[in-house]
Chain A
Amino acid sequence: MSVLESERVGTDADAPGRTARTAATPRQRSQRNWFILFVLPAVLLYALVLIGPTVFSIGVSLFQWNGLTPPEWRGLRNYEILFRDPVFLRSLVNTLVILFVGGAVIFVVGFFFAAFIRTMRGRNFIRSALFFPFIASPIALSIVWGVLFQYRGIVNTLLGELGIEPLEWLSSENIFKMAVTGTIWVSAGLYLTILLAGIDQIPPMYYEVAELEGASAFQRFRYVTLPLSWDVASVAAILWTIEALKLFDFLFAFGGATTTMPPVEIWNSSLFVYGQTFGDQVPAYRFGYASASAVLMLLLFGVIVVLLRRILRREPIEL
């Protein structure tokens, strides 16, 4: 892969590249003009909506600013305060718990399920039923999740019919666990489906050979499924990392509403930003401080993605 790339870069720089600079043929020039025309709208909008604001946020994070009065220079003070802010630390820990604990459950269960669903009857139906929560509105599912588990809710009613005392599912010690469980419920279908697609690409021959040689189901999983779907799984893991950072809707609707924030116990990085700016009945508009937290989390997750790619790529894929 990397050899191929460097080779391509090499030829690019050698033959057409250098000549193009000095004397491009009319054909090359028109090709370049068309290229610019085709990508320009996308590049402009990308810059306006995503790149520009991200860069601007880095700048804003060095000021104290409410968006109305002139911004006040603070340097790195916002970042220092973040590390002493219990609400931010809580949000940071929650975000990481969702990423690592939620991710571990999603991938272990996803792999386990996918390995069995592969040969099960009704696999398309199973896959659809488990996938559907992922495309359903997270706030709608979050509301349902809340009504299921509130104290006088549906789950406790059903437990009552079995003679079990009602449980405090959403007490302040439990609410975050239930939010993470709900997040897993909503997201797992996507990763299960991705893993299943990866496993489907494995030639059935390998399984047949393994079975002929008497490999148990676990051995087939360990020596065929896992190594041969590793590439797909590692890309899926990166996707999950990105999604975990973006997560907002499900947590927000889990105890919040349009004008109220959910309890701090379930805040993550994006809820922290929203809570420090536009959220709540009296919006705080702490643009600089909130931007600092967003920039910090983006940096942290950038590092995590790079590390994950390193760690996951090391694993040998050859059989």
Chain B
Amino acid sequence: MSTQNTAGAPRRAIRRSTPGRLFGWLPRTVIWLFVGFNLVVLAITLLSSVKTTKDIFAAPLGLPTTWEWGNWSTAWSNSGFAVGALNSLIVVGSASIAVVVIAAPAAYALSRMRVRWAKQLSTAFVLGIGIPPHIIIIPLFIEFSQLGLINSKLGLIIVYTGVSLPFAVFLLTGFMAAVPKEIEEAASLDGAGPIATLVRIFLPTVRNGLLTVFIITAVSLWNEVLIALTFVQSNDNFTLGLSLMSLLSAIQYSGADYGLLFAGVGIMLVPMLLLFILLRRFVIEGMTLGVGK
């Protein structure tokens, strides 16, 4: 403790005396300007969602002259966002749960069981992270047409689960590999079989990892559009992203109600904003962990 203090004191003194003063405050100001930009854009978005179109462009930064709360209810009930939100919740929720349930045992086996090919199989999963959706949508569209899984929530859930697996397996393999060997050995001395070891020892130990994978999967699927555009055809199966895109088309054809459009944007953004505020640590650490370690 005391050594740290003595080390800290001269450091501060030296920093003050270096000639690079300009290098000190300028970057900080620039960084705060960028932070400010993001906050202003968020404020404009939320404010515009309760404004008339005229207000939005007359005074973008001002408060609304009349508070148009009706924008949100119109978007919700007339523009199909209620259906979209429900579908997104069902599809994204099911797929994210499926991803965790399927990836966890795989990651456990790949990181903990001494079997030939485990390493090669792990590498194969990592390579899957690099496969872009646009190379798989054509064959999947044909494959799923024959299976009758086009324009069905089940079909979308299957594709979403599949495309999310590689990253989930990759992340969870890291979490599982970090579990101390002693814990595992104690379990096998107690005579626990592989399922008991996984369920009673590993899953509780890496529960933060499971939650992280769930959140990351849910966030990226909540925002996904390309696969949904290809696989969903009727309005009653629209996900929230598709509801927003069709509101955007409607507005381009029928004269612009930008207040309504911003309300739609708000419905799409606010859940992520709340999630981010509540679970920021899991989101940020989860998304950087795979790379950072």
A binding-site residues for B, Cβ under 8 Å: 12, 16-17, 20, 31-32, 34-35, 37-39, 41-43, 45-46, 48-54, 56-57, 60, 67, 112-113, 116-117, 120, 125-140, 143-144, 147-148, 152-154, 157-158, 190, 193-194, 197-198, 201, 208, 211-212, 214, 216-218, 232, 235-236, 239, 242, 245-246, 248-249, 252-253, 257-260, 269-270, 273-274, 277-279, 287, 290-291, 294-295, 297-298, 301-302, 305
Knowing A57-B135, A135-B283 are in contact, say whether A248-B225 is a contact too (CB < 8 A): yes
In angstroms, Cα B142 to Cα A113, docked, is 46
Q: Are B23 and A208 in contact (CB under 8 A)?
A: no
Q: Is B102 an interface residue (CB 8 A)?
A: yes
In angstroms, Cα B11 to Cα A32, docked, is 57
Q: Is B209 an interface residue (CB 8 A)?
A: no
A59 vs chain B, min Cβ distance (A)? 9
Q: Are B115 and A194 in contact (CB under 8 A)?
A: no
Q: Is B181 an interface residue (CB 8 A)?
A: no
Knowing A20-B116, A35-B113, A49-B159 are in contact, say whether A258-B139 is a contact too (CB < 8 A): no
Return 6 A-B CB contacts under 8 Å, by A number.
A43-B106, A135-B223, A139-B225, A198-B292, A248-B133, A249-B241
Q: Is B110 an interface residue (CB 8 A)?
A: yes
In angstroms, Cα B56 to Cα A67, docked, is 46
**Interface size classification for chain B:** 35 or more
Knowing A42-B165, A50-B162 are in contact, say whether A253-B245 is a contact too (CB < 8 A): yes
B binding-site residues for A, Cβ under 8 Å: 7, 10-11, 14-15, 18-20, 23-24, 27-28, 31-32, 34-35, 38-39, 41-42, 44-45, 48, 56-58, 60-61, 102-103, 105-106, 108-110, 113-116, 118, 121, 124-125, 128-143, 145, 158-159, 161-163, 165-166, 169, 194-195, 198, 219, 222-226, 229-230, 241-242, 244-246, 248-249, 252, 258, 261-262, 265, 268-269, 272-273, 275-276, 280, 283-284, 287-288, 291-292
Knowing A158-B60, A298-B132 are in contact, say whether A249-B226 is a contact too (CB < 8 A): yes
Q: Are B20 and A258 in contact (CB under 8 A)?
A: no
Which B residue sits closest to A302, measured CB to CB? B130
Knowing A138-B223, A190-B287, A211-B11 are in contact, say whether A46-B162 is a contact too (CB < 8 A): yes
A residues in contact with B261, CB < 8 Å: 143, 147
Q: Are A53 and B118 in contact (CB under 8 A)?
A: no
Which B residue sits closest to A245, measured CB to CB? B132
Which A residue sits closest to B27, measured CB to CB? A116
B residues in contact with A242, CB < 8 Å: 129-130, 132
Knowing A144-B45, A208-B11, A248-B226 are in contact, say whether A201-B138 is a contact too (CB < 8 A): no
Q: Are A130 and B34 in contact (CB under 8 A)?
A: yes
Q: Are A270 and B226 in contact (CB under 8 A)?
A: yes
- 7 shortest A-B CB distances, which residue pairs? A49-B162, A257-B249, A42-B106, A38-B109, A53-B139, A53-B136, A270-B134
B residues in contact with A144, CB < 8 Å: 41, 44-45, 262, 265
In angstroms, Cα B136 to Cα A54, docked, is 6
A residues in contact with B42, CB < 8 Å: 132
A116 vs chain B, min Cβ distance (A)? 5
Q: Are B292 and A157 in contact (CB under 8 A)?
A: no
Which B residue sits closest to A158, measured CB to CB? B60
Q: Which of B28, B106, B124, B130 meets A301, CB within 8 Å?
A: B130
Q: Are B103 and A42 in contact (CB under 8 A)?
A: yes
Q: Which of B31, B139, B224, B284 meets A120, CB within 8 Å?
A: B31
Knowing A48-B162, A49-B159, A135-B219 are in contact, say whether A143-B38 is a contact too (CB < 8 A): no
B residues in contact with A17, CB < 8 Å: 116
A residues in contact with B134, CB < 8 Å: 246, 248, 269-270, 273-274, 294
In angstroms, Cα B41 to Cα A53, docked, is 40
B114 vs chain A, min Cβ distance (A)? 7
Q: Are B246 and A258 in contact (CB under 8 A)?
A: yes
In angstroms, Cα B24 to Cα A77, docked, is 58
Q: Are B287 and A53 in contact (CB under 8 A)?
A: no
Which B residue sits closest to A286, measured CB to CB? B138
A79 vs chain B, min Cβ distance (A)? 15
Q: Are A38 and B142 in contact (CB under 8 A)?
A: no
In angstroms, Cα B229 to Cα A270, docked, is 13
In angstroms, Cα B190 to Cα A3, docked, is 36
In angstroms, Cα B14 to Cα A191, docked, is 31
18 further contact pairs, Cβ within 8 A, besides A154-B60, A194-B288:
A34-B113, A42-B103, A50-B163, A57-B135, A128-B276, A129-B35, A137-B241, A211-B11, A217-B23, A239-B291, A242-B130, A245-B130, A253-B248, A260-B249, A269-B132, A278-B229, A294-B135, A294-B138
A residues in contact with B283, CB < 8 Å: 135
Q: Are B241 and A257 in contact (CB under 8 A)?
A: no
Q: Are B291 and A216 in contact (CB under 8 A)?
A: no
B residues in contact with A50, CB < 8 Å: 128, 131, 136, 162-163, 165-166
Q: Are B288 and A193 in contact (CB under 8 A)?
A: yes
Q: Which of B58, B115, B121 meets A31, CB within 8 Å?
A: B115
Q: Are B10 and A274 in contact (CB under 8 A)?
A: no
Q: Are B57 and A154 in contact (CB under 8 A)?
A: yes
Q: Are B272 and A135 in contact (CB under 8 A)?
A: yes
Which A residue sits closest to B292, measured CB to CB? A197
Q: Are A140 and B118 in contact (CB under 8 A)?
A: no
B267 vs chain A, min Cβ distance (A)? 9
B residues in contact with A301, CB < 8 Å: 130
Q: Are B244 and A139 in contact (CB under 8 A)?
A: yes
In angstroms, Cα B153 to Cα A149, docked, is 36
In angstroms, Cα B138 to Cα A287, docked, is 7
